[in-house]
Structures are given as structure tokens and as C-alpha cells.
Amino acid sequence: MLGYFVLGLLGFLGVASEFRQIEEGIETLARERGSVLFRLVELTRDWNAQHGGVYVRVTENTQPNPYLEHPKRDLETVDGIRLTMINPAFMTRQIAEIAEAADGVKYHITSLKPIRPANAADPWEAAALAGFEKNTQLDLLELVQTEAGPVHRYMAPLIVKPACLACHARQDYKVGDVRGGISVTMPAAKLLSVRSDQRQRAMLVFGASTLAIALLLHLVAWRSRRYFLQLRKLTAGQEQLIAERTLALSAANTQLLDEVAVRKRSETRISESEARYRSVIETSQDAIVIVEAPDFTVVFVNERALSMLALAQESVLNRRLIDFIHPLDRAMVADRLARRARGEFVSAASRLRFSRPDGSHMRVGDVHVARIESAGGKQQWVVSAQDVTDLLENQRALQIAAAVMESAAEGIVVTDGQNRIIQVNPAFTAITGYRPQEVLGKDPSLLSSGRHGPEFFREMWAALAQVGHWEGELWNRRPDATVYVVWLAISTIRDEAVESGGRHVATFIDITQRKEMEERLRHQAQSDPLTDLPNRALFDDRLQVVLTQAHRYGDEFALLYVDLDHFKPVNDSMGHAAGDELLIETARRLSKAVRDSDTVARLGGDEFAVILPKISSHDEVEEVARRIVNMLSRPFNLSAGEAHVSASVGVAIYPENGQSLAELVASADAALYAAKEGGRNTYRMLAANNASGDKSPV
């Protein structure tokens, strides 16, 4: 009875241990799921923050964020489409709505100092955030019962990164601070159902095993008693048997000596063969372990296996193989080993996660198991494992890189050492108009618009050679001959990444519309809205530039002030529209009267000015002044009728009439005043001593 009690107790302890492992496995799976979902959202937020927010179309479901303070939060495209900036927090909320609708997973971004009231932490989240700030825990997972059913609540902290300070610097956060966290609420019904099934299976296995062992113990006891009774009968005839056997033993000794000699020769050959096999096993690139029934105890391990587990030989030998299986795979491996021990068919190949007994230093291996027979008839198995951990990590990194390249809004181009295109992404086709098959294997110069000279590209390649990076504006041309401008960033691929065949990677965005808008704004700021001539601000800038160049190179230039005579009567009698039409025609005639390199500007009202750089003689200036007077004295055919005006022109020459801007302007004003005093419809040029000279128009 004591034996049955002990057996039942061991069965109960086994079931309890299995329940604990099942519970730990379910919790680990839920934590890993929550961590992956959190990491995906965190990466999405980091991408948004690194780009300073992204713009999306304003829709019924995506309205401007009232909690986002940004000078360019809302924009409108040239074709009237309203755009609004989406910051990381707003993007997280929209992702949360999609995730909840699709899988029932709920996200909640929260903080102890939330900007948006809806982001305030509930008591569970507040306790988790307090733990994060005190560095007492890295994340938190809890199974919670709700009205909708059981859920796993997972939460991890959001750490302040440099890109986050653009919006949160005013909250006194620093890089590395815990700014808040994201809680993930995941339905737990399926995992709890799996846990229930595993518990039932464990109870069934341990119950059946306990019953089978009890029956075997009962059978052993019965057979032992029967054997004891038979032994009594045999004892009586033992003496006679000994005598007979002694006689036969003498004959057998001679034969045994011969067999010993043969065995020694066989053992020598076996030792040599064993040394060869051991050398092969020790130098194998695969981890090799030999285990022995009934507990699958490790009796041999090679150097590769020790390196894979990062353990010493004494820490591995004479321990169960299951101790070096990662906790997440132990239940499955224990089941497969038990089936092997019973002689059931089990696939020889599998992929398992290995670790130290405490679950640390996890490695993934492709495993093959083969049964061998050892001396003494014990069951042994050879377990060989190829470490594929690094291979899987590289594959995962390549998958992430491919996903980023496919979904990036920027155009991406990868070129090889001969500057041939080896890879592009969909955004490249959307921006350039070239399909991948049209550019692969070709030089990126096929995109060139011809606006940049050789010196531009020499400087670009020099920067890549020196610092490995270059960025700037570049004008390109699409297949339909449309010219556009991009902001291009090129980086050199270095170190081991060069083995992929890539040498440079370039990313670019289309900034054509932005450049056009900047040009329009610049033109509006520097041009007269009526005549489209340079206004006073641009005129002053150009006059200063001409003065500086003339002073540096010893050139002469002329400044002409032009004022319309009798313009007010035309404006009063024929209307302001006619006055505007006359001013526009005046601007056109003045532009025709000078060279393309000269500057004509409207200073205001009926006042105009002309800059003639690099003049060769005074006669050249006088010729221009006479041409202006003659052209403006001709009748103006306006919509309201014919109008007659004339022009007074004042001329100042650098350096004769002044060497500074103020002196030249004063001289030109004085000459203009002299022209008006002289009867108008003429020009005046000041002499070197500033005395006005009467120059009659031609």
C-alpha cells in the first residue's frame, strides 16, 4: 500500500509541475504577443517622429488634431486638397481603432502628464507607469476578467528619443526619460482554451502513466514471489549441477583463452575506429549530443554543442536533455521523447529552441535524431543540431528591410560598384515615371535633366568619397520630358553590407511643388503687382550689387530716374483703369528701350528707375535717355481713348556723380528735378562737378 501511495503522490506532483509549466508557457506567449504588438506600434511612432509628422487628407474620420500645436499643422495643396499633420500619438490612436476592429486588440497610449485628456491613465496603467519611472520593471502583463471575457493586459514604457522632443520638450522631458507607455489589451479566450486543453492532456498522460506503473509494480511483486518458490526447488540440485559444471569449465577455459586473444585484437580495431569517429564528431560544425534511456541523460557532448549552449562540459554531462530545451518547447520535446522511449514513430527532423537550464542564451537549431545501440544493450540516441539562430535573424532583418523599402513614401535606389541600378522601390516609379525593368542595370544618369554641369557631380562624388554621404537638390526628367526637382540623399554602403552587391543607396522626395510655390512667393515679394517689374526692394538690392561690382572691378554704370509728366490729368479724366493700362504700357516701352542685362523698376505711382551696368561712354547713356523720352512721348492707345504724356529723366553716373548709394540717388533726383524745371519731356545728366547740363532730347 505504501508503494501505491508514493506512486500516487509522485503522479500528483508531476501533474502540478506540468500545470505550472503550462501556465508559464501561456504567460510567456501572451507577453511575447504583447511585446511584438507594442514594438510594431513603437516603430511606427518612431518613423512618424523622425519625419516630423506626416500629412494626410482631411476626411470625416481624420479631422485636424486640436491638441497638436504646429505652425503648419493644416495645409492646402495647389489643387485645393486639405491636408493635416498626423503626429505619432494621433497615428497610434488610428492604428488602435483599426486593430480593435480587425482582431479585437485595443491600444491605449497614456502618460502621467497627458496632453490629451483621453490619454489619461487608468489605475492599472498609472501603477505600471510608476513602476517604469522607478525602473522596478521593464514591462507588465496581467490576466484580467472583463464583462466581455478574459483579456491579457500588456504595457511597456515609451522612452523619450531625440525626435520626440519636437513636441514634448516643453514638458521638460529629456532623452531617455519615461514619457508614458502603450497598453495593449488582447482577448485571452483562445489562449485560456489552449491552456485548458493542455491541462486535460497532462492529467490524462500522468493518470495513464501512474496506472500503468501501478499495474507493473503489482506484476513485479507477483513474479518475485513465484521466483522465490522456484529458487527453493533449484537449491536442492545445485550441488550436482556444480560438479557437472566444474568438469565442463576446464574444457571451456582453454577455449576462453583463445577468445580473449581474438577479443583483444577486436578491441584494438574498435579503439582505432572509435578514435576516428570521435575526431570527426569533435570537429563537426554541428552540435552533437548522445543521450541514454530512460531519462535521455546526456552521456556525450562535442565542442560545438558546448559552444552553442555557452556551458562547460561538466555542466552538461549526466543531465537530462530536456534541461537544455527552451521552456517554450519543453512540453513538446518531453512528449516526443516519451514516444521515442515507447518505440512509437517520431519524425527524425525538427526545429527546436535551446537554452541554458534557466532559460537564458536561447539558440535555434535544426535537429536530427537517430537511435543507436550501445554496449550493454542500453538505448541511446544521437542528437545533431545545426545552429540557425543567426540565419533566422538575418532573414528577419531582410524581411523588415524589404517591407520598409516597399512601403516607404520616399523613392529608394540601390546601385552597385559600377554605379548600375540594382534595386528600386514602388515610390521610385511613382516619382520618376520609370518602371523597374526600364532602369535596372542602367546608370542613374538616365534620369538627368541636363541642368547640372560636370562640376556639380564632381563635388557630389568627392563628398561621397570623403564622408560617405551627400544630400541636396537635383533636377531630373521623366520619360514624358517633364522636369521635376527632388531632394536627394546618397549614402555609401560600407563594411559587411557591401557583400550584398550594393555600393550606394539613395533616397529622394519630389519637392517640385514646393519650389514652384517658393518661386511664386519670391516673385510676389520682389515684383510690382501691376507692371510685373521689380519693386523698390528688389531695385535697391540690384543697385547695391551693381555698385559693389563696379567698385571692385573699376566699372562705370548709370542710374536713371524716370517720372511721367501729366499723368494725373489722364488718371483723373479717363479713370484709374486707364491709368493702370498706361502704366503697364509705360513699363513695356521702358523694357524695350534698354538691354536685357539692364534693370527697369517701378518705384511707385508714376515713378520708374533704370540701372545701366558696365557702360562704355556717356554717349551710350544719353542714347538710352533720348530713346526713353521719345518712346514715352508717343500717344498711348488705351481702352478709354488716346492719352498723351511725356517723361522727365534724371541721369547719374558712377563714380562721377557719387561713389555711394546715397550720393548716386541724390544726384539722380537732382537731375530729374532739373529736367522738370527745364520744361519736362527731356532728360538731364549732371556734370562731374554736379552742375546740371542741358541735354535736349533727340
Q: Which are the contacts of 477, defined by CB distance < 8 A and separation ≥ 6? A: 447, 448, 449, 450, 483, 484
- Residues 406 and 389: beta-carbon distance below 8 Å: no
Separation of alpha carbons 698 and 623, rounded Å: 9
Separation of alpha carbons 549 and 597, rounded Å: 14
Return the residue matching grid coordinates 517689374. 533
Mean pLDDT of 302-311: 86
pLDDT band at 165 (very low <50, low <70, confident <90, very high): low
Name all domains of the chain by residue range, CATH numbers in brackets.
2-52+87-193 (3.30.450.20), 280-387 (3.30.450.20), 408-517 (3.30.450.20), 527-695 (3.30.70.270)
Mean pLDDT of 339-365: 85
pLDDT at 692: 40
pLDDT band at 649 (very low <50, low <70, confident <90, very high): very high
Separation of alpha carbons 651 and 688, rounded Å: 12
Separation of alpha carbons 251 and 425, rounded Å: 89
Mean pLDDT of 317-326: 87
* Beta strand 363-373 pairing with 469-477: unpaired
Range in 65-69, 269-273, 324-328, 648-652 with the lowest mean pLDDT: 269-273
pLDDT at 434: 93
Radius of gyration of the chain (CA): 46
pLDDT at 694: 40
pLDDT at 370: 83
Closest C-alpha among 470, 463, 475, 504 to residue 489: 470
CB-count burial class (<10 Å; 0-12, 13-18, 19+) for 618:
middle
pLDDT at 308: 84
pLDDT at 693: 40
Does residue 604 come out as left (phi exceeding 0), alpha (psi in the -120 to 50 range) or beta? left
* Prediction pTM value: 0.37
pLDDT at 83 over 80: yes
pLDDT band at 114 (very low <50, low <70, confident <90, very high): confident
HEC secondary structure over 505-541? EEEEEECHHHHHHHHHHHHHHHECCCCCCECHHHHHH
pLDDT band at 422 (very low <50, low <70, confident <90, very high): very high
Residue of 321 and 99 predicted with greater confidence: 321
Mean pLDDT of 495-508: 68
The full DSSP string for 459-516 is: HHHHHHHHHSEEEEEEEEE-TT--EEEEEEEEEE--GGGGGGT--EEEEEEE-HHHHH
Closest C-alpha among 656, 669, 666, 623 to residue 556: 656
- Here the cell at position 257 is 583463452
pLDDT band at 542 (very low <50, low <70, confident <90, very high): very high
Phi, psi of 4 (to 5 degrees): -65, -35
pLDDT band at 607 (very low <50, low <70, confident <90, very high): very high
CA distances 437 to 76, 154, 424, 434, 651, Å, are 35, 46, 10, 8, 64
Mean pLDDT of 325-333: 87
Q: Tell me: the pLDDT tens digits for 459-499?
A: 889 988 898 899 988 899 999 888 899 899 999 887 544 45
- Residues 661 and 544: beta-carbon distance below 8 Å: yes
Separation of alpha carbons 528 and 542, rounded Å: 15
pLDDT at 543 over 90: yes
The residue type at 265 = R
pLDDT at 663: 94
Q: Tell me: the pLDDT tens digits for 29-55?
A: 888 888 888 887 878 877 877 777 788
CA distances 481 to 117, 436, 453, 475, 508, Å, are 52, 18, 19, 12, 19
pLDDT at 696 over 70: no
Mean pLDDT of 224-246: 73
Mean pLDDT of 198-205: 86
Mean pLDDT of 536-557: 93
Q: Which residues partner with 411 through β-bridges?
A: 508
Q: Tell me: the pLDDT tens digits for 131-142?
A: 888 876 778 888
Separation of alpha carbons 11 and 16, rounded Å: 9
Separation of alpha carbons 372 and 292, rounded Å: 10
Mean pLDDT of 416-438: 90
- Here the cell at position 22 is 503550462
pLDDT at 248: 73
Q: What is the mean pLDDT of the chain?
A: 83
Q: Please work out, in degrees rounded to the nearest 5, the angle formed at the alpha carbon of residue 226 by the alpha carbons of 224 and 231.
A: 90
pLDDT at 552: 92
Residue of 229 and 198 predicted with greater confidence: 198
- Residues 139 and 154: beta-carbon distance below 8 Å: yes
Rounded percentage of the chain residues whose pLDDT exceeds 70: 91
pLDDT at 279: 67
pLDDT at 668 over 90: yes
